[in-house]
Amino acid sequence: MDDQWLSQLPIKGITKAVPVGGGDVNQAFRLETKDDTYFLLVQPQTTADFYAGEIAGLKAFEEANVLAPRVLGNGQINGDAYLLLNFLESGSGSQSDLGELVANLHQHYSKNGKFGFDLPYVSNDESFDNSWTDSWSELFVNHRLDRLRDALMKKHLWNPSDDEKYKRVREVILDQLSKHESEPSLLHGDLWGGNYMFLADGRPALIDPASFYGDREFDLGITTVFGGFDADFYAAYNAVYPLDPGANERLNFYRLYYLMVHTNKFGTMYKSSADSAMNQILEHE
């Protein structure tokens, strides 16, 4: 990151630009001035609207009074898209407080009563149509799971046998969701253990959203895939916003989704886990 590039940002007097972890999608930097610290995300040779969905999610969090980075700037410099955020200093905190934060997030609903979002989800690896739908199953199954199925078949990561199993799983999911009353909650959309943090003062915050309005069990199912959330998190969540009967079985639907995402993105290393998730769903049909 050279001085000429940095000089075009909407902040002046940058004294230091240090590369930091920013996930597997963006280049990320900690920027320092005499008085402030900033977090900069860069997507090389991409238009500024690459970050439109993340910006919309962060602004929705702010409106919901959910602690997250604040958007300070967005644009394109020398052909590179950037997103400028305030820098959150990390510390340690309580999983119970995190559970309460997520439960509060999920109690904010779409104003139109529908499922979806004003913008699609777009990344380097996949995109999803977030067009507003009247039913959760239409958005989740038709616009998410089926799209992933198509991608996995096209890449030959799934074979005809996998596809046949998916068709059976799909019918189970549709049947179970038809018996479950979903509400269009504001979701993080990618709530794994790397997308929350505790601030220096101990408060929990959510980062890197892929937000849309959907069934809250979607977020909770994703929390169970790679760990990072303990019993205190789930107990505190349920104390604030109790889950409906049958939730534990339905969480398998969202584990399958997340494992299909990772199979599509990283290849066969996640294929057996996705297959196990399908088997678990069929065991409960």
Which residues are catalytically annotated?
190
Q: Is the alpha carbon torsion for 158, 163, 168, 170 positive or negative?
A: positive
The residue length of the chain stands at: 285
Whole-angstrom Cα distance, residue 285 to residue 281? 7
Instruction: With CA atoms as reference, report the closest residue to 214 among 248, 245, 250.
Output: 250
140 neighbors 218 (Cβ within 8 angstroms): yes
5 neighbors 77 (Cβ within 8 angstroms): yes
Whole-angstrom Cα distance, residue 66 to residue 69? 10
**For the chain, what is the radius of gyration of the CA atoms?**
20
Whole-angstrom Cα distance, residue 214 to residue 168? 23
Whole-angstrom Cα distance, residue 205 to residue 38? 16
Structure tokens at 81: 């898209």
Q: Is the alpha carbon torsion for 148, 153, 154, 157 positive or negative?
A: positive
Angle (CA) 208 182 103, round 5°: 45
Q: Which residues contact 12 (CB under 8 A, 6 or more apart)?
A: 33
